[in-house]
Structure 1
Amino acid sequence: MIKSHMNGMAGGNGVLYPIIGFSLCVAFTYMSFGDMWVDIRGETKLSFVERNGTQFMVDGKPFNINGWNSYWLMDHGVDESSRSRISAMLQAGAKMGLTVCRTWAFNDGGYNALQISPGRFDERVFRRFCCTGLVYPTWLFAVPPGAPIWYLSFNACAFLWQSLDHVIAEARKHGIRLILSLVNNLQAYGGKTQYVQWAWEEGVGLSASNDSFFYDPSILRYFKNYVKTVLTRKNTLSGIEYRDDPTIFAWELINEPRCMTDASGDTLQDWIEEMSNFVKAIDRKHLLTVGLEGFYGPKSPKRLTVNTEFWAADLGSDFIRNSKISTIDFASVHIYPDHWSHTPDFEYKLKFISKWMLSHIEDGDKELKKPVMFTEFGLSTENKDFDPSQRDRFYKVILDIIYKSAKKQKSGAGAFVWQFLVEGMEKYNDDFGIVPWERPSTYRLFTEQSCRLARIQGALPSQKEHLKRLCWQRR
């Protein structure tokens, strides 16, 4: 009945096809995904994070961060089978009172690459079409003569799935802000190695050295094009350009930059200056950081004893010099004493943490006059004497120092554990990853930190309901 009736209409007036097809597509999409659309465009209100001296500010109030790393979010947005983990992780972070997640906004050259080659992007990774396995009536896909091109696009798929777009929209829905890193110093997910390889393959590369990423004109152009594409990207879910979206806490230029072919640090310094100016020329609304590990270099001789070992001064980076650039809004530091030191003693590692963090916080207060964020910290399961209880002690030292800094309005503005996962993610785990709720004592450490910081600065609107449950019962 329906099929013959539609055939009759087609013969009489083909113009009804696009109208009917579009209407059914909209109806199905609304019924299936309407709640998500409402959430994305609905009540969650976020303001841009600003900086006032050594403090972050939101709506005129101090903002100290209890955050975490889930680098894998965008990668999981490409495949429908794994996309639910994005929502699960962001929702879990919100329920813990956490406020900022640091994640990758890059995937260069490899599997599910966002940037396939210089200037060529896989729109699936920005956004993905997915028909959700629904079987449509065959007449729905019959394209009448003269139908506009958008007819097929609307009928070919019921819903537009996003990857990086989806991550940002989901974060907003849960009141979580994001630090988005733009490239990797390491080879994982492409990184500077991929950029150098691209230049070499095109016959324009100056050197096969990975460090040519920081000075080769062709590679600088590749990276600037990528940065501009990301910053000016219009989110297909929210309609907001990334540079205008307060869900993004900050941009990070590069994860853990090192330029070992120039221990003086001049090459990396020039790159940071050039790229930070480029970012700020496009986007002055968001904060910007480098992505440093925090090692002191030859321009900071009085601080060299704070480094774990002598080699740390020869990596081409320099915490104070790199972070002092006017276009860099806050400093970033990582904490991995078990990977940086040959000393296996756990008590030594705890002492190092305190010395390392307090030194950088003092630099933020006196030298940089900017906030300092400890954007990665972790303790490896591969240590010979590893015991899960050591992690709790390790984490507690870090969280306590951040709490004390917040109480005294010092520059230590936040800490981000590496890394949080949800269940069933063994493939993405490393020797630092944890599912936080699987160990109650660890879970309590992070939720208590959320409560302690909220008592100092007040709860954000997105935190209030969660903190009622977490904090009031502990009084």
Structure 2
Amino acid sequence: MLNGKKFYFVGSNSYWLPMLENTADVDKALDDFKASGMDVLRIWGFADLTSGSGTQTAFQVWSGSTPTINTGANGLQRLDYIVAAARARNIRLVIPLVNNWQDYGGMDRYVQSMLGSGGLHDDFYTNANIKAAYKNYVKAVVTRYSSSEPAIFAWQLTNELRCKGTLAASSSCNAATLTNWVNEMSTYIKSLDPTHMVSVGDEGFFNRAGNSEWEYGGGEGVDNEAYLRLPNVDYGTFHLYVSAWSKTYAWGDQWIKDHAAVATSVGKPMVFEEYGVTRSTGQRLTVIRTWHDIVLANAIAGDMYWQFGAVLPITGRTHDDTNTIFTDDAEYNELVVQYVPRMEAKNA
């Protein structure tokens, strides 16, 4: 539901948008995105650096154990521009506020800066000082925008939280560790902004006792269903990378269906938030066609492929991680432009 109406949508991810250093590129990227018919775009809302000089985007700069929020031209002003530009185009943004991985700083930046070399990844979820630093950053970003800002679709706690990241996890980290943190931080964001939705940004792993598959058995400390049942989490998320997870495409078919079943059981929406099939497999079109059909036939509210690629006037082609679908790719029309009205037909 969005504004009291059913809202089934197609969107994508462009993590790189806030990292662009000129507004002409931002405008072209958003124009191309809007031209596709898509509604919702997920971008990084974090950039934790240890140096904030020059033109590189830095939303928060660490000096020793002290973080300073950068509200300057290469800081949150870049996010401001994107929010305003998205609003002008009726695009809605999903904004995760920290990364599980070290790209653009991440949780490990907090841990290493505040605890030194002895810190473990899951200290991010339990250390009082680290949690306070994260809340400070969250407050700075969330309260920067009106609770009625139409360009904000959802605030997101993380990108892909797990017990471990680049740093290792402690032996005590488990599903309760992460669920308690999600409950605390989702409640905190709602206290700052009760209007916008909150989601977790998790990969959708389950915590089902006795299941030997790591994606289902709780080994990463993630519990997708438990998060969805929390009062201040508005919708669920899940990701799918069969190559990286050493799975088959058919396994991915069931992964989608299982998350649709959770959505139905809990009674909240579920978004297929990241997925990709590498170009080199030669199977991208066939596989994603199948996944689209499964999404359309099941209780999946949103479909956001990884990732949207554009050709920009200054930067040129945006980052290509081999999952990227560019606007000039042969598959773009079928997998994106033609898919949008098929998904939106579920709103009828």
Give distance in 1, aligned partners of 2:235 and 2:10. Answer: 16
Q: Structure 1: where are the runs of 5+ without partners?
A: 1-55, 128-161, 234-240, 459-475
Q: Is the 8 A contact 1:403 1:449 kept in 2?
A: no
Q: Is the 8 A contact 1:183 1:253 kept in 2?
A: yes
Q: Which residue of 2 aligns with 1:360?
A: 259
Q: Is the 8 A contact 1:126 1:165 kept in 2?
A: no
Deviation at residue 125 of structure 1 after TM alignment = 3.1
Matched letter for residue 434 of structure 1: I
Of Structure 1 and Structure 2, which has the larger fraction of its residues in helix?
1
Q: Which residue of 2 aligns with 1:230?
A: 141
Q: Which residue of 2 aligns with 1:121?
A: 69
Q: Which residue of 2 aligns with 1:192?
A: 107
Please list the CA deviations of residues 35-88 of structure 1 after superposition, one character each: whole Å capped at 9, or x if unmatched.
Answer: xxxxxxxxxxxxxxxxxxxxx233x32110100000011111xx23xx322211
Deviation at residue 448 of structure 1 after TM alignment = 1.6
Give distance in 2, aligned partners of 1:216 and 1:277. Answer: 18
Please list the CA deviations of residues 192-215 of structure 1 after superposition, one character each: whole Å capped at 9, or x if unmatched.
Answer: 0111122136xxx9x511221111
Q: Is the 8 A contact 1:242 1:248 kept in 2?
A: no
Deviation at residue 323 of structure 1 after TM alignment = 2.3
The SS at the match of 1:314 is coil
Q: Is the 8 A contact 1:353 1:397 kept in 2?
A: no
Please list the CA deviations of residues 323-371 of structure 1 after superposition, one character each: whole Å capped at 9, or x if unmatched.
Answer: 2211111100001111111x5xxxx31x1122001111011101x2110
**Quick check: 1:100 aligned with 2:40?**
yes
Q: Which residue of 1 aligns with 2:308?
A: 420
State the TM-score, normalizing by the size of structure 1.
Answer: 0.66
Give distance in 1, aligned partners of 2:206 and 2:215. Answer: 10
The SS at the match of 1:437 is coil
Give distance in 1, aligned partners of 2:17 and 2:215. Answer: 36
The SS at the match of 1:124 is coil
Distance 1:184 1:310, change over 3 A: closer
Q: Which residue of 2 aligns with 1:457?
A: 347
Matched letter for residue 315 of structure 1: E
Matched letter for residue 62 of structure 1: K
Q: Which residue of 1 aligns with 2:163?
A: 259
Q: 2:185 aligns with which of 271, 275, 281?
A: 275
Q: For the pair shown, which has the larger CA radius of gyration, 1 or 2?
A: 1
Which residues of 2 match residues 306-345 of structure 1 at below 5 A?
Answer: 307=213, 309=214, 313-341=218-246
Deviation at residue 381 of structure 1 after TM alignment = 4.1
Give distance in 1, aligned partners of 2:146 and 2:95. Answer: 11
Identity over the aligned pairs, expressed in percent? 30
Matched letter for residue 369 of structure 1: G
Deviation at residue 447 of structure 1 after TM alignment = 1.4
Deviation at residue 121 of structure 1 after TM alignment = 2.0
Q: Structure 2: where are the runs of 5+ without partners?
A: 51-55, 165-169
Give distance in 2, aligned partners of 1:312 and 1:109. Answer: 35
Q: Is the 8 A contact 1:392 1:442 kept in 2?
A: no
Matched letter for residue 328 of structure 2: W
Give distance in 2, aligned partners of 1:354 and 1:371. Answer: 19
Q: Is the 8 A contact 1:66 1:98 kept in 2?
A: yes
Give distance in 1, aligned partners of 2:267 and 2:215. Answer: 27
Deviation at residue 119 of structure 1 after TM alignment = 4.5
**Quick check: 1:296 aligned with 2:199?**
no
Deviation at residue 444 of structure 1 after TM alignment = 2.2
**Quick check: 1:445 aligned with 2:343?**
no
Deviation at residue 301 of structure 1 after TM alignment = 3.0
